Amino acid sequence: MTSSLIPALAVTAAAHGTPPTPVTEGEHGGLLRALAAVPDPRDPRGMRYPLCAVLAVAVCAVLAGASSFAAISDWLHDLDEHAKMRLGFDRGVPAGTTVWRLLTRLDAGLLATALAGWLRARTPPAPSRPRRYRRVIAVDGKTLRGARRPGGGQVHLLSALDTSTGIVLAQVTVDAKSNEIPAFAPLLDAVAAVLGSLTGVLFVADALHTQTGHAREIAARGAHLLIPVKGNQPTLYAQLKALPWPQIPAGNRTRDRGHGRRETRTVKAVTIATPGGITFPHAEQAVRITRTRITKGKTSRETCYLTVSLPAADAHPADLQDWTRRHWHIENMVHHVRDVTFREDLHQARTGTGPAVIATLRNTAIGYHRINGETNIARATRRANRRPHDLITAVTSSYPTTQ
C-alpha cells in the first residue's frame, strides 16, 4: 500500500449528506507536504496507515492541547468520520499503541527541521523592521524531568529559538554521557538546514557556551555571538573585569517597574578588537551590564560581563540591551509553556525517540499559535480543540490562516 496521503484527502462539505470533493493543490500543500520529508521507519510491507496521516494527527492533537501520546490517540478517535478522512484515514484509524510505536521510532531531528520549515513558511512578513534589525537566536537546554533513558538517566534537549517569531528552529538531544557543549555544532547545522544560511545571524546563549570553539564555529559560518562571561572562564572574566569601566560612559539605561520591584539596567560597551586584547576569538566589544533592583525597600546590584563579535557600528548599547534580554525568551515563551500548559515534566516518555518527538510537537504547537498572534497558549489550545475542522483546514492550507 502506498504511503502517499494526497489521494486520500477530501474536503468536508457543509452538509453530511453531500459527498466530499477532492482537495485542491492549494489546500494540500502546507503541513502535509512538509511532513512528506520525514522518513518512514517502518517496513513497507504491510503498512496500513500513511505516515503523513499519523504525523498530521499528532501535530493537530498537540495544537489542540494533547500533552501525551495517549492524548494524541484519544483526540484522533474522538474525531468524526469526515475529519478522519480529511487527515487521510479512509480505512479506519490506528490503535493507540500503533500511534505510539510509530512516533517513538521517528528521527526527531528531521521531524523538527520539517516542522520548523513549515512554520516559517506560514509566518506573515513583518510590517516594518528597525534600521539595524538582526535575527537573534536564543540557545538554551532543558531537562525533561519525567522522561528517562533505558539506563535510567534523564533526557536533556538543546534548542534554538528565533526570538522574533517564537519558532523553535532546531532541537537536538544531548548525549547521555556528555553535556550541551558537544551538541552546539549539531544544533548550528540544524538551524542552517532550516534558514539556509547563518550569515549575519546573532546567537545568544548562557555562560556554559562561552567556549572558544563555539566562537570559531559561529564565525566560520558568517554568524555572530553574544555571550556572558562567568567563573567557568576565569582568565577571560578577570580581563573583562579589569577594563577601565569607571572611565567608560553609560551607553544605555532602562528602568522597569513590576512584580513589586523596580529595576535599572545600565549598559557600557567598549571596543576591544585591538592587539593585546582579550583572549577570546572574534570578540569585537566588551560589555558590562549592571542591574540594580529595589524590592520592598531593599537594594541589590548585579554586574554581568559579556563579549560580542559585532563592532560598535553594528551593535549599539541599546541593541546589546535588547539582545541580552532576548535570551530569556526561550525560557519564558517556550520552556515555561511546555511545563505549565503541556505538563511536560509530568510526562514519563521513555521509549526510543519519544521524549524528543513529543517535545518537538509541543514546540510546534507553541510556535504555531504565536505566529497566529496568540499570547495565551493555553487558551489557544482550548479554542483549537473545540473547532477541529477549522484546525484541520488551517494546517492543511498552504496559506497563513489564523484561527
Residue 57: pLDDT over 60: yes
Q: What is the pLDDT of residue 200?
A: 94
Q: What is the pLDDT of residue 231?
A: 86
Q: At what angle do helices 354-371 and 51-63 cross, to 10 degrees?
A: 60
Q: What is the pLDDT of residue 172?
A: 95
Higher pLDDT, 175 or 188: 188
Are 359 and 54 within 8 A, CB to CB? Answer: no
Residue spans of beta strands (DSSP E) within 133-260? 136-144, 155-162, 167-173, 202-204, 224-229, 252-258
Residue 214: pLDDT over 90: yes
18 pLDDT band, cuts 50/70/90, is: very low
Are 272 and 245 within 8 A, CB to CB? Answer: no
List, for residues 68-119, the tens digit of each pLDDT value.
999 999 999 999 999 998 888 888 899 999 999 999 999 999 999 999 999 9
Q: Cell digits for 205? A: 546563549
DSSP assignment of 30-98, as one string? HHHHHHTTSPP-S-STT--S-HHHHHHHHHHHHHTT--SHHHHHHHHHHS-HHHHHHTT-SS----HHH
List, for residues 35-56, the tens digit of each pLDDT value.
989 999 988 887 888 899 999 9
Q: What is the pLDDT of residue 22?
A: 36
Q: Is the CA virtual torsion 122, 57, 396, 188 positive or negative?
A: positive
Using the CB atoms, write b or e for 286-300: b if 16+ within 10 Å.
bbbbbeeeeeeeeee
Q: What is the pLDDT of residue 347?
A: 86
- Mean pLDDT to the nearest integer, 254-281: 83
Residue 29: pLDDT over 80: no
Candidate from 126-135, 334-343, 381-390 with smallest mean pLDDT: 126-135
Give percent of the chain above pLDDT 70.
90
Which alpha helices (H) appear in 245-346, and where do they start and end? 317-326, 329, 336-340
Residue with cell 546589546: 320
Q: Cell digits for 175? A: 548525549
Secondary structure of the chain: what % helix, strand, coil (to 5)? 40, 20, 40
Q: What is the pLDDT of residue 33?
A: 86
| Residue 129 CB contacts under 8 Å (≥ 6 apart), including other chains | none
How far, CA to CA in Å, does 32 sit from each of 290, 393, 394?
49, 12, 12
Residue 238: pLDDT over 50: yes
> Cα–Cα distance between 304 and 200 in angstroms, integer?
25
- Mean pLDDT to the nearest integer, 147-175: 90
Instruction: For the chain, count helices (H), then strands (E).
Output: 15, 11
Candidate from 253-262, 305-314, 386-395 with smallest mean pLDDT: 253-262
Candidate from 51-55, 123-127, 191-195 with smallest mean pLDDT: 123-127
46, burial (CB in 10 Å: exposed 0-12, middle 13-18, buried 19+): exposed
Higher pLDDT, 152 or 279: 279
pTM, rounded to two decimals? 0.87
402 pLDDT band, cuts 50/70/90, is: very low
Q: Cell digits for 262? A: 523596580
Higher pLDDT, 158 or 351: 158
Are 140 and 388 within 8 A, CB to CB? Answer: no
> Cα–Cα distance between 370 and 119 in angstroms, integer?
10
Are 359 and 347 within 8 A, CB to CB? Answer: no
Residue 221: pLDDT over 50: yes
Residue 10: pLDDT over 60: no
Give percent of the chain above pLDDT 90.
65
177, burial (CB in 10 Å: exposed 0-12, middle 13-18, buried 19+): exposed
